[in-house]
Amino acid sequence: MQIEPIAYIYTDFPEKFGIPRQAGRVPELFGKIIFEPKFRKPEALRGITEFSHLWLIFDFSESHRKIWSPTVRPPRLGGNQRVGVFASRSPFRPNPIGLSCVKLEAVQNQTELLVSGIDLLNHTPILDIKPYLPYTDSQTKAFGSYGEMHKNDKLFVHFPENLLVQIPEQKQKALLACLADDPRPSYQHDPNRIYYLQYANFELQFQVSGKNLYVIDLQKNPDCNDTNQ
Amino acid sequence: MQIEPIAYIYTDFPEKFGIPRQAGRVPELFGKIIFEPKFRKPEALRGITEFSHLWLIFDFSESHRKIWSPTVRPPRLGGNQRVGVFASRSPFRPNPIGLSCVKLEAVQNQTELLVSGIDLLNHTPILDIKPYLPYTDSQTKAFGSYGEMHKNDKLFVHFPENLLVQIPEQKQKALLACLADDPRPSYQHDPNRIYYLQYANFELQFQVSGKNLYVIDLQKNPDCNDTNQ
């Protein structure tokens, strides 16, 4: 079966590190979906604003592998326990197809979708967009296992004011929420380690000690185009 | 992007007519997922029974078209009103990829998945299977539009006992629920029209008058293999 991108999403994450582990964890994170020319038709979106949420089906374009592994090690289990790939949302799957529920904020310029609660890399190819239908998609009695773990563990973020003000104001809250959500792999706990996170054309450096995250430096990437078209 | 089926699902529906309009509408409807030989590995399912529900991402294999239409006419709007394809769950989409949430009933023979609440044609190619994660997938505040309409409209089903007993007992309840859910296209209201529905190797004939559905004949398909492997 041959499929092609219908659109690309533009987000503040040029790299995987720092992206929330699931959609909706950071409601303040926005993305803009721009359709490919052949699918850029206002009528293809007719009625879409009557839905509050959308499904994005996308290509895990940075996770293509020639060989598939039947098991994966979810970060949430500490990275050292293996579960079946079909019991995980890992990007490394036989068909590298991803699924995210996002909030529809607005239709812009008749053909662009502004969405929030994203968990996607900048320029991720979108394969399909569907309305979220609460009566069939919201399984209020469903239960999951390790996906639930740590979901309320938050770090206390220390972000020096002189550094924070360099980030555009409308992007500060989302960044703080991503940091509080603890972007580290679960198995890394070295307080001396310096982590580098790319966000909205900035490179951030931070360290984590216990429940505290300390931002120690911030640099603007001079040679980078603005990813938020 | 090239993708391939990882599995096929076996259901009681050899044709589209009669299939519930969304997953979960008829909880009694079962399907069995059998993996393709290269993906048939017990370890690929390790931990899956800790989840109550699964996402099936599948190929709308009977709905491939060379030309895409930016609008579709959802049956729930009477079939005469057009909405954008991305504001619908229509199978006729630029990439014919479907999404259904089903309940995981059991893992059988180490590599087969028995699921319920299906809305899929027999032998639908499955592209991916993911666990349903309530904290990100269940959007309790989401709202939709026409998807909600008529969801509690039920027909009163008159199924003569001498016909009903011909259906295997464990398949009767699901069939009655499918009929009560009104399989007709919304725009058809001719009480003289006879509808033919294929289910579990039977062909059923029925008519609908007002809120009453009358089963008028039932024939076993002699030349049909059992689709429930």
Confidence of residue A143 (pLDDT cuts 50, 70, 90): confident
ipTM entry: 0.92
- The 3-class secondary structure across chain A, one letter per residue, is CECCCCEEEECCCCCCCCCCCCCCCCCCCEEEEEECHHHCCHHHHCCHHHCCEEEEEEECCCCCCCCCCCEECCHHHCCCCCEEHHHCCCCCCCCCEEEEEEEEEEEECCCEEEEECCCCCCCEEEEEEEECCHHHHCCCCCCCCHHHCCCCCCCEEECCHHHHCCCCHHHHHHHHHHHHCCCCCCCCCCCCCCEEEEECCEEEEEEEECCEEEEEEEEECCCCCCCCC
Across the A/B interface, how many CB contacts are shorter than 8 Å?
239
Q: Which residues of B79-102 are buried (b: 16+ CB within 10 A; e: fewer)?
A: eeebbbbbbbbbbbbbbbbbbbbb
C-beta atoms of B41 and A130 within 8 A: no
Taking residue B43's Cβ as centre, other Cβ atoms within 10 Å add up to 15
Taking residue B17's Cβ as centre, other Cβ atoms within 10 Å add up to 13
C-beta atoms of A94 and B59 within 8 A: no
At residue A91, what are phi and psi to the nearest 5 degrees? Answer: -70, -15
Confidence of residue B28 (pLDDT cuts 50, 70, 90): very high
Q: Which domains does chain A carry?
A: 7-137 (2.40.30.70), 152-220 (3.30.2310.20)
Stronger pLDDT, B222 or A85, i.e. the higher one: A85
* A33 contacts: CB under 8 Å, gap ≥ 6: A7, A8, A9, A10, A56, A112, A113, A114, A115, A126, A129
Q: Which residues of B45-59 are buried (b: 16+ CB within 10 A; e: fewer)?
A: bbbbeebbbbbbbbb
User: Looking at beta carbons, which residues of chain B come within 8 Å of A59?
Assistant: 1
Stronger pLDDT, A66 or B188, i.e. the higher one: A66
Average predicted confidence (pLDDT) for chain A: 91
State mean pLDDT over B69-75.
Answer: 91
User: Looking at beta carbons, which residues of chain A come within 8 Å of B2?
Assistant: 1-2
Stronger pLDDT, A225 or A189, i.e. the higher one: A189
C-beta atoms of B84 and A3 within 8 A: no
Between A43-52, A129-138, B82-91, B139-148, the lowest mean confidence (pLDDT) is in B139-148
User: Looking at beta carbons, which residues of chain A come within 8 Å of B138?
Assistant: 137-140, 142
**pLDDT more than 90, % of chain B:** 76
Between A142-151, A164-173, B25-34, B127-136, the lowest mean confidence (pLDDT) is in A142-151
State mean pLDDT over B68-72.
Answer: 95
Confidence of residue B186 (pLDDT cuts 50, 70, 90): confident
Optimal mutation site among A34, A35, A46, A102, interface B, most CBs of chain B within 10 A: A46
Residue A176 has pLDDT above 80, yes or no: yes
State mean pLDDT over A138-159.
Answer: 79
State mean pLDDT over A125-144.
Answer: 92
Chain B residue with CA closest to A25: the answer is: B136
Residue A102 has pLDDT above 80, yes or no: yes
**pLDDT more than 70, % of chain B:** 93
Q: Are the beta carbons of B94 and B68 closer than 8 angstroms? A: yes
B75 CA to chain A: closest CA distance, Å?
Answer: 15
B150 CA to chain A: closest CA distance, Å?
Answer: 12
A97 CA to chain B: closest CA distance, Å?
Answer: 7
Q: Are strands A156-158 and A212-220 parallel, antiparallel or unpaired?
A: parallel
Q: Are the beta carbons of B84 and A113 closer than 8 angstroms? A: no
pLDDT tens column, A27-63: 999 999 999 999 999 999 999 999 999 999 999 999 8
Between A71-80, A95-104, A194-203, the lowest mean confidence (pLDDT) is in A71-80
Confidence of residue A79 (pLDDT cuts 50, 70, 90): confident
State mean pLDDT over A195-207.
Answer: 96
Average predicted confidence (pLDDT) for chain B: 91
C-alpha distances (whole Å) from A213 to each of A43, A95, A201, A210 are 46, 36, 21, 8
pLDDT tens column, B106-165: 999 999 999 999 999 999 999 999 999 998 999 888 888 665 555 567 999 999 999 999
C-beta atoms of A145 and B71 within 8 A: no
pLDDT recorded at residue B228? 46
Record the pTM: 0.93
C-beta atoms of B84 and A59 within 8 A: no
Confidence of residue B224 (pLDDT cuts 50, 70, 90): low
pLDDT recorded at residue B229? 40
Nearest CA-CA partner of B57 in B126, B138, B3: B126
* B222 contacts: CB under 8 Å, gap ≥ 6: none
At residue B131, what are phi and psi to the nearest 5 degrees? Answer: -70, 145
C-beta atoms of B143 and A134 within 8 A: yes
Residue B45 has pLDDT above 60, yes or no: yes
B48 CA to chain A: closest CA distance, Å?
Answer: 5
